[in-house]
């Protein structure tokens, strides 16, 4: 049986700087909503909505610990993003190499 499609894709989820910051916070440890919310100048409800988008994209998993919900990063969906970026890296590398050659030639003149 095929896995259900997420409500939000990885690209939509990471498009927002707040969600990218949440992913950074969860990169090293599992955190409850209160701890995550403390890093932002917004309500817990707003942070919870961001967590829901990340969860819908499969980037965040949650689990109950007593009365508290803790969130952790699931980096697996980021592989899709890495594959997409890898395709474009060759263009960036070519442009950077050309810029380097241009600057080095200009310095010798």
Residue 39's pLDDT is 97
pLDDT in tens, 18-67: 999 999 999 999 999 999 999 999 999 999 999 999 999 999 999 999 99
Crossing angle of helices 44-56 and 17-25, in 10° steps, is 80
Measured CA angle at 10 (ends 26, 23), to 5 deg: 15
* Structure token pair of residue 56: 């819908």
Q: Is the pLDDT of residue 8 over 80?
A: no
Which has more confidence, 71 or 8? 71
Handedness of CA 7, 36, 63, 78 (dihedral sign): positive
Look up the pTM and report it. 0.75
Q: Return the closest-CA partner of residue 36 out of 76, 69, 74.
A: 69
What are 57-109's pLDDT values in tens digits?
A: 999 999 999 999 999 999 999 988 888 888 888 777 777 788 888 888 766 66
Q: What residue ranges in the chain does DSSP mark as E strands?
A: 31-32, 60-65, 68-73
SS3 45: helix
What pLDDT does 84 receive?
84
């Amino acid at each position: 049986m095929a896995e259900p499609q997420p409500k939000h894709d990885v690209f939509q989820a990471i498009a927002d700087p707040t969600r990218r910051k949440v992913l950074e916070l969860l990169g090293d440890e599992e955190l409850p909503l209160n701890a995550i919310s403390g890093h932002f100048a917004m309500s817990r409800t707003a942070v919870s909505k961001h967590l829901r988008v990340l969860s819908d994209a499969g980037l965040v998993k949650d689990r109950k610990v007593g009365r508290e919900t803790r969130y952790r990063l699931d980096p697996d969906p980021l592989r899709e993003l890495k594959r997409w970026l890898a395709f474009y890296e060759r263009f960036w590398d070519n442009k950077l190499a050309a810029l380097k050659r241009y600057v080095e030639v200009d310095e010798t003149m």
